Chains A and B, each alone.
Chain A
Amino acid sequence: MPDINPHEREKPLEKPPFFKHWSGMYWLVLGNLVFLILLFYTLTKIYA
């Protein structure tokens, strides 16, 4: 009897979570990058 994980029977995702379109997801990644760069820049300025 093969071991079938219940998760493997789930229907695969077709659309991104939280957003109507994939572009929303991509902007989230790029926005996160900009946020991190600004955060790191602030840290650099504060502690330099």
Chain B
Amino acid sequence: MKALDWVVLLGTLGFIVSYGVWKTRGSRDIEAYLKGDNSMKWWSIGLSVMATQASAITFLSTPGQAYEDGMRFVQFYFGLPIAMVIISITVIPIFYRLNVFTAYEFLESRFDLKTRSLAALLFLVQRGLAAGITIYAPAIILSTMLGWSLNVTILIIGVLVVIYTVSGGTRAVSVTQKQQMAVMMGGMLVAGYMVVQYLPERVSFGDAVAVAGKMGKMNVVDFSFDWDDRYNFWSGITGGLFLALSYFGTDQSQVARYIGGKSVAESRLGLIFNGLLKIPMQFLILFIGVMVFVFYQFNQPPVFFNEAAKARVYATPYADNLRALETQYAGVFAEKQEAVQGLVTALRTEDEGAIATAQQQVDALTANARSVRDEAKQVIKQATPKAELKDTDYVFISFVMKYLPTGLVGLLLAVIFSAAMSSSASELNALASTTVVDIYKRSVRQEGSGRHYVMASKLFTVGWGAIAITFAMFASLLDNLIEAVNIIGSIFYGTILGIFLVAFYFRYIRGNAVFVAAVLAELVVLYCYYFSDIAFLWFNVIGCVCVILFGFILQALFGKPGEQEGTA
């Protein structure tokens, strides 16, 4: 990194943190600290909701995913706009009417204290672990690329986030997220412009898209139904809808973003803003990844994008094997580059026969290149058995570090740090507000002053920040950690969603029934986890369906609502 990159990176991050602290100084009561005094406008809510969802991994992994798998990941978001409409109609008015600080507070007015506390605890366990990973996942990639110590990178992200989140609470999170979103989208647009500019002069933008299409990367929508296919229209519109409903409707890190609006209308518009812009944003990020793919059809890509992993192999007896494969890969690339240029020429002639012939040649050489790449991965695995062989997370950051001019490298690193900070800040803020409002203020100390609860919120934010940073620092000691956290999330998410669905849509079921149903559903999910081979993503569905089903059965056993307990 050059001096100018450092100035851009540190200047951007320093400005965002300082602005957040200055703008939100003096929040002295709990309403202001945890709900931002209900002062947020719709566009501020919309940007905040988008920035919370866009973690650093979004900007690191998504272009790499398009590089490897094409555009089809965008279908994963097809259910999101529908979820925004459902939440705007049903959830937002209820949260406003009850004037809640957290989503779980609503559960007490609908059911009872024990159900509220159960849902809050499930959220704290799940989100508390995820907060560590939100910091760890980008830190491992950034530290590898920048040559920094992993712990220093984790500390930089974690401490910066804690500073402004503690200082200004929810409003500081929203205020900084506006700047962070501007940096993120501005940086990505510049990166997209640059990658198109870096294409050879003889290749136009239209040629680049056509080549990407012929090489299978413009596979945006697939209407065919296949259970085993993770991303198609049907899985996106159904699975994506359920995931978005649970994430935006029950996860406090998102709920806090929109219940701080000036009115129901401002909150609704904020979610509608997200519903309109989320898919185009994901499309843009994926499309930049596809353009990086086309760029690497005319510029030699590394055989393996994680250079640090390759450097470790060079220090072993397998170094010569890897170097031989790199030479072989360069040879295949030279042939493929000519073939792709032939495909561009054929596409311009619009001669179907010539296009088919050129495409066959490109496909054959692409298969050769993939085979050499797979061999290189095997060598890396043999030389360093603990090495992570998935290198797609490094595709975009490698392109940025190697090809973008001085200054822009700093800007794109600021994009990734900003994304890491924006989602971490929302998580820490949500963890602190849930701990204070649903546990401490409700069950430990009910008679404290506003100032006391603000101080407690700040201390809990620092505490959760320390837990997240510590967890991130020790994360590398565990294998498959990200998957482990996803599994833990799936174990709890289904039950939480089930409780909320019952609360909103099944008035027949009351507090005792839903509480016992939730405990039983959690036991069923844990049984499935320990004693079955069911894929963990299904735990979300199993937990949710079990809560509803058991809730109905138990309510029937307990008696009609009103006979057994008061109506909510």
Choice from B39, B223, B276 contacting A29 with Cβ under 8 Å: B276
* Pair A13/B266 contact, Cβ less than 8 Å: yes
What mask results when residues 9 to 36 of chain A are scored 1 for a CB within 8 Å of chain B, else 0? 0101111110000100110111011001
The answer, yes or no, to whether B275 is at the interface (CB within 8 Å) is yes
Count contacts on A: residues with CB < 8 A to the other chain.
Answer: 28
Count contacts on B: residues with CB < 8 A to the other chain.
Answer: 39
Complex-state Cα separation, A20 to B153, whole angstroms: 51
A to B CB contacts below 8 Å, 23 in the list: A2-B26, A10-B41, A13-B262, A13-B265, A13-B266, A14-B263, A17-B269, A22-B268, A29-B81, A29-B272, A30-B81, A30-B82, A32-B81, A36-B280, A40-B74, A40-B220, A40-B221, A40-B283, A41-B221, A44-B218, A44-B220, A47-B213, A48-B219
| Centre residue among A3, A12, A17 by max chain B CB count within 10 A | A12
Once A46-B213, A47-B209 are accepted as A-B contacts, the answer to whether A12 and B272 lie under 8 Å apart by CB is: no
Complex-state Cα separation, A40 to B73, whole angstroms: 12
Residues of chain A having any CB pair with chain B under 8 Å: 2-3, 7-8, 10, 12-17, 22, 25-26, 28-30, 32-33, 36-37, 40-41, 43-44, 46-48
Residues of chain B having any CB pair with chain A under 8 Å: 23, 26, 39, 41-42, 71, 74, 78, 81-82, 84-85, 88-89, 209-210, 212-214, 218-223, 233, 261-263, 265-266, 268-269, 272, 275-276, 279-280, 283
* Pair A43/B220 contact, Cβ less than 8 Å: yes
* Pair A29/B85 contact, Cβ less than 8 Å: yes
Across-interface contacts of A25 in B (CB, < 8 A): 268-269, 272
Complex-state Cα separation, A17 to B269, whole angstroms: 9
Across-interface contacts of A40 in B (CB, < 8 A): 71, 74, 220-221, 283
Complex-state Cα separation, A36 to B280, whole angstroms: 8
* Pair A13/B219 contact, Cβ less than 8 Å: no
| Centre residue among A8, A14, A26, A30 by max chain B CB count within 10 A | A26
Choice from B41, B71, B81, B283 contacting A7 with Cβ under 8 Å: B41
